[in-house]
């Protein structure tokens, strides 16, 4: 959704946010990339104006505005090595397994509670590290969002990892969230309305196809 290539910040989320803000006549002064847990902590302190791409949590509503419209809606699933033939029909399948997660991500409490009690958690700072570990056999499962997972498999040229799509951990929207201490609620509502309109246009579909393979 956001990545640095050739010293330039790009990705689906980056292009989408830029496009919608331009349509609102809002100029972006600067864009910065931080580890996710640090970025959330900065938002809580009211340092940046906005942050993307964030899942919804009730706790974050204490310090940010959520637009009604998400940037995109997509399931979070488990990924495995094809050769291991691992399944995920219920949380019991994760018992005593090594699970790769990203520090600061908002998984469901049910999922986190189970793996904290009955599995071995391998916590890292980004999804790419998790997929490399999975490919090397250092974890058994990786929890990651569907579209981002497909993109990373392509980028990292990993061909033996497959998604377990039948049983998502959750389905959630990804949002551009706005600091309550710096940005008005009306701005968040305007962004939501403009985003909703843009999604009806062909340009949005072209942007989705540029980055995702969701079939």
What's the burial of 106, exposed, middle or buried (CB within 10 Å: 0-12/13-18/19+)? middle
Q: Is the pLDDT of residue 214 over 70?
A: no
Q: What is the pLDDT of residues 25-76, one digit of tens each?
A: 999 999 999 988 999 999 999 999 999 989 899 999 999 999 999 998 889 9
Q: Which residues contact 49 (CB under 8 A, 6 or more apart)?
A: 178, 179, 182, 183
CB neighbourhood size of 66 (10 A):
18
Per-residue confidence band for 7, with pLDDT thresholds at 50, 70 and 90: confident
What's the burial of 140, exposed, middle or buried (CB within 10 Å: 0-12/13-18/19+)? buried
Q: Would you state the pLDDT for residue 215?
A: 44
Q: What is the pTM of this model?
A: 0.68
Q: What is the pLDDT of residues 162-177, one digit of tens each?
A: 999 999 999 889 999 9
Q: Would you state the pLDDT for residue 213?
A: 59
Strand blocks (E) in 103-195: 120-124, 141-145, 161-164, 170-179
Percent of the chain scoring above 70 in pLDDT: 99
Can you count the helices (H) and strands (E) in the chain? 7, 10
d(CA 145, CA 211): 14
């Amino acid at each position: 959704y956001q990545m640095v290539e050739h010293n330039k910040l790009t990705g689906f989320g980056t292009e989408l946010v830029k496009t919608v803000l331009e349509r609102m006549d809002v100029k972006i002064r600067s864009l910065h990339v931080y580890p996710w847990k640090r970025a959330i902590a900065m938002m809580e302190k009211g340092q940046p104006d906005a942050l993307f791409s964030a899942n919804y949590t009730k706790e974050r509503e204490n310090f940010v505005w959520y637009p009604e419209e998400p940037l995109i809606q997509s399931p979070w699933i488990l990924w495995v090595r094809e050769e291991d033939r691992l399944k995920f029909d219920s949380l019991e399948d994760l018992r005593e397994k090594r699970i790769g997660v990203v520090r600061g991500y908002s998984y469901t409490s049910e999922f986190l509670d189970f793996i904290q009690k009955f599995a071995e958690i391998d916590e890292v700072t980004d999804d790419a590290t998790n997929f490399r570990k999975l490919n090397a056999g250092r974890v058994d499962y990786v929890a990651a969002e569907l579209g981002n997972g497909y993109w990373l498999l392509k980028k990292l040229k990993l061909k033996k990892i497959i998604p377990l799509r039948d049983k998502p951990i959750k389905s959630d929207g990804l949002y551009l969230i706005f600091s309550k201490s710096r940005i008005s609620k009306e701005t968040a509502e305007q962004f939501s309305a403009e985003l909703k309109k843009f999604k009806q246009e062909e340009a949005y579909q072209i942007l989705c196809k540029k980055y995702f393979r969701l079939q």
